[in-house]
Structures are given as structure tokens and as C-alpha cells.
């Protein structure tokens, strides 16, 4: 049985930091041993906002993959690839664009938000408006079932679902659909076919979800059908035609537990971040300079951890005993802030040690990183091409 597929991407616009690690990457690493995972460098997406600064992207494509490897992504367990090496993404984007109302894109919340936020950039471009549809193509081309992203991207996955639904509705009917369905039913044997026909009737007349679930469970697991036949039968059962494209689900990653050094969201552009691979001295210096509860002007002033960004770091890096020590020490002015910060420094350094070690061979020999991406791209391309064959056929483009 093949595992469900997961797909996610990141834009190579800067070195990854601990916010990325605790917000997304750690989750990616966990998923790679559970499901079939495809992770890609979204360099075209980076261009939608950085079309005037290509050097940023160039610099960060392979650096970001090294960060992934440092964080524990394993090329033997997941597929890592580069978006722009698979032009099929652009082909699907173009084809989806034909039937996508502009209003769908204008209504995506990130469209206006980002234009507001990134005022120094002119984002009234065609590419930026189309960004979520390109993302839909990224997802649909791999028939991904799950998309692990943060809350801010949920609306893009929703648009992806709408695009898939619309595509299936417009193009999901094969010319000889009925005969093909009959052939699938024959494969299943008389009894199963009868049962399916009966529960299809129930479902289509009453909308009975139990009937749907039962049938879908059977169709999804029977060894008598291949993947295309399963899709066809599913479409027949639901009455929607063949599902050429699969509607994905968002796997919401909890917002990063780790804020920036100043308590705001960690972001390179806010100058409040620590990179995934940062040198020791710089980490020590940054944490020592972190702002603390403003009430602690003097060493003898008591403070409140809940008003201090350092506390958020203790929640990620310290054990219960240390946290107890912080709470007591802070509220009674028993410890100084520098003292309080030391376990955080130690925690970050301990977390980074294995990452630095994992990154070392790749930094020393960037060729290996390119080879990993090349191999992953070749693997991803096989699936992308298969989907495009189906898509072209469904749209009648195979003349």
C-alpha cells in the first residue's frame, strides 16, 4: 500500500531561523518517517516578491536545503526538490488559470495583507496576484493529500481545493466513462459490485454519509484496482465524474512556539532572530542582549516572567525544574537576568550542536547538496509528468 503524500515548500528568501525550526521544520522532520513527503524550494514563489533581487534567491536556494538537512530532513526518507526545475508546475498553473475567476485571487487575505506590509515593494503584479494559484498547481500536481503549513497559508490550501473541484467538475468526465466504470465493477466481482451499486443509490438519493464512507473505504483498499480505477469509481459513486485532481487537506502546524528575541514574531527583517546555524558567540551575545521585564531596572527589583520574552524561550528550552527556579528567582529578585538567561543559551547551543554537525559535510562539499536536490527533482518529476498526462487528456489536449 502506498502511503499518503505530504507536500510543502519554503521560499528561499533568507537563512532559516529558530522560528522556522520550531514552527515548521520540526514538523516536516517528524512527518518524513510517517508519510511520503515531498518538500521543495519555492524559488518561483520567492520571485513573486523578490523579482528585483534575484541575488537573494540565488544565495539561499542551496543554503536553505543545508538548513533542512541540518534540521534532520533525510534524503533517504523524503524527497527534496527545486520548483523551477519542474516546469510542469508552470504548465498546470497556466491551465488552471484559464478557469479561475480573478475574484478568487483578489479575495485571498494574504494578497492585500502582504501588499500593505511590504510597502517598499511594488506587488501590484500579475505574478503576485497569481501566487496562490501557482501554489495550488504545486500541490495538485503531486496529488498531495496533506499540506503542512501555518495558519497564514490555510486560505491558499482552500483555494487549491476549489481549483481542484472546479477542474474535476469541468473536465472530470471521460468520453467512455460509463464503460470504464463497468469494467472496474466487473473486476471487483458480482457481490461487491452489487453492494456498491446499492449504496451508491442510497448515497445519491439521501446523501447518507455512512454509505459514502463505507464505499470509499472499500474502494480505497481493495487490491483489485489500481489508483486510476479507484479515482474513477470514486467519481462514479459521488456522481462527480473521475477525480483527476485530488483535493488536499491542510495539516495546520501550530504557530511557532518560539517568538523573536524581543517577543514579537521571529523574523529576519525584524532583526530579532537566531539562525538555525549561527555561531556560538553570536548566540550568546544576542540572548544576553534580550530585553527583559521592564520592571527589573535594578538587580534588586523583582520581576514577572510573564512580562518577559526570555520566559517564552524557557518554555521551549527549559525543563520544569529550571522553570521553577526562574519563576521563584525572578519574582523574588533572587536571580539576575543574565543568570536567568544562561540555561536558554545552553539550551539553544545544545539544540544547534547536532544541527551544525549534520550540516558540516554539506558545507564542506556543496556538490552533495546539489546531488540530493537533483535526485529528488528526478523523483518528483515522474509524478508531476504523470499528473500532467492525465490533465492534458482530461482537457482534451492530447491531439
Q: Which residues of 185-210 are buried (b: 16+ CB within 10 A; e: fewer)?
A: beebeeeeeeebeebbeebeeeeeee
| Closer residue to ligand TRP in complex, CB, 89/341 | 89
Least distance in angstroms from the C-beta of 267 to ligand SF4: 22
Helix (H, G, I), strand (E, B) or coil at 90: helix
Distance CA 210, CA 202 (A): 10
| 268 among known catalytic residues | no
Cα gap 274→259, rounded to integer Å = 11
Q: Is residue 344 near ligand SF4 by the rule CB under 6 A?
A: no
Whose CB is nearest to ligand TRP? 9
Biggest alpha carbon–alpha carbon distance for the chain: 84
Contacts of 379 by beta carbon, 8 Å cutoff, 6+ apart: 79, 81
Question: Which H helix or E strand runs over 251?
Answer: strand 249-252
- Closer of 169 and 289 to ligand SF4 (Cβ): 289
Residue 311 binds to ligand SF4 (criterion: CB under 6 A)? yes
Q: In this complex, which beta carbon is closest to ligand SF4, that of residue 239 or of residue 321? A: 321
Binding site for ligand TRP (CB under 6 A): 7-11, 42, 45, 135, 138-139, 147, 149, 153
Write down the least CB distance from residue 256 to ligand TRP, Å: 13
Q: Is 117 a catalytic residue?
A: yes
Q: Please report, for residues 189, 237, 239, the alpha-carbon distance to residue 178 in angstroms, rounded to integers and kept in the order given.
A: 17, 12, 12
Of 296, 325, 388, 394, which lies in the binding site for ligand SF4, with binding defined by CB under 6 A? 296
**Closer CB to ligand SF4, residue 67 or residue 293?**
293
Asked if residue 308 binds ligand SF4 (CB under 6 A), the reply is yes
CA atoms lying within 13 Å on the CB side of residue 2 = 11
Alpha carbons 399 and 393: distance in angstroms, whole number = 9
Binding mask 250-289 for ligand SF4 (x = CB under 6 A): ----------------------------------------
- Which of the listed partners (ligand TRP, ligand SF4, none) does 260 bind, with a CB threshold of 5 to 8 Å by partner kind? none
Residues near ligand SF4 (CB under 6 A) are 292-293, 296, 303, 305, 308, 310-311, 326, 330, 335, 337, 340-341
Annotated catalytic sites, by residue?
Answer: 117, 187, 190
Amino acid at each position: 500500500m502506498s502511503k499518503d503524500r505530504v507536500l510543502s515548500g519554503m521560499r528561499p528568501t533568507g537563512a532559516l531561523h529558530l522560528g522556522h525550526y520550531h514552527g515548521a521544520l520540526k514538523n516536516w522532520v517528524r512527518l518524513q518517517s510517517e508519510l511520503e513527503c515531498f518538500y521543495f524550494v519555492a524559488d518561483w514563489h520567492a520571485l513573486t516578491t523578490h523579482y528585483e533581487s534575484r541575488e537573494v534567491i540565488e544565495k539561499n536556494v542551496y543554503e536553505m536545503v543545508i538548513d533542512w538537512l541540518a534540521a534532520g530532513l533525510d534524503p533517504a526518507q523524503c524527497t527534496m526538490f527545486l520548483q523551477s526545475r519542474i516546469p510542469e508546475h508552470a504548465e498546470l498553473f497556466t491551465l488552471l488559470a484559464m478557469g479561475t475567476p480573478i475574484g478568487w485571487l483578489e479575495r485571498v487575505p494574504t494578497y492585500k495583507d502582504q501588499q500593505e506590509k511590504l510597502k517598499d515593494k511594488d506587488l501590484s503584479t500579475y505574478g503576485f496576484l497569481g501566487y496562490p494559484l501557482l501554489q495550488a498547481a504545486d500541490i495538485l500536481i503531486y496529488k498531495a493529500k496533506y499540506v503542512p503549513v501555518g495558519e497564514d497559508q490555510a486560505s491558499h490550501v482552500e483555494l487549491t481545493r476549489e481549483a481542484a473541484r472546479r477542474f474535476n467538475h469541468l473536465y472530470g468526465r471521460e468520453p467512455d466513462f460509463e464503460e470504464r466504470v463497468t469494467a472496474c465493477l466487473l473486476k471487483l466481482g458480482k457481490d461487491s459490485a452489487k453492494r456498491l451499486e446499492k449504496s451508491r443509490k442510497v448515497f445519491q438519493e439521501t446523501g447518507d454519509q455512512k454509505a459514502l464512507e463505507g464505499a470509499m473505504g472499500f474502494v480505497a483498499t481493495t487490491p483489485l484496482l489500481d489508483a486510476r480505477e479507484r479515482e474513477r469509481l470514486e467519481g462514479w459513486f459521488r456522481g462527480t465524474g473521475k477525480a483527476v485532481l485530488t483535493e488536499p487537506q491542510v495539516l495546520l502546524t501550530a504557530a511557532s512556539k518560539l517568538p523573536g528575541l524581543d517577543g514579537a514574531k521571529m523574523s529576519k527583517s525584524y532583526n530579532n532572530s537566531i539562525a538555525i546555524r549561527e555561531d556560538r558567540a553570536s548566540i550568546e551575545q544576542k540572548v544576553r542582549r534580550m530585553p527583559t521585564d521592564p520592571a527589573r531596572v535594578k538587580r534588586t527589583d523583582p520581576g514577572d516572567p510573564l512580562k518577559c520574552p526570555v520566559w517564552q524561550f524557557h518554555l521551549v528550552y527549559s525543563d520544569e525544574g529550571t522553570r521553577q527556579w526562574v519563576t521563584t528567582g525572578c519574582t523574588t529578585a533572587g536571580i539576575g537576568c543574565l543568570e536567568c538567561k544562561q540555561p536558554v543559551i545552553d539550551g539553544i547551543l545544545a539544540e544547534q550542536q547536532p544541527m551544525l554537525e549534520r550540516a558540516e559535510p554539506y558545507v564542506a562539499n556543496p556538490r552533495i547538496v546539489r546531488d540530493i536536490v537533483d535526485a529528488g527533482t528526478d523523483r518528483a518529476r515522474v509524478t508531476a509528468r504523470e499528473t500532467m498526462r492525465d490533465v492534458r487528456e482530461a482537457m482534451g489536449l492530447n491531439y
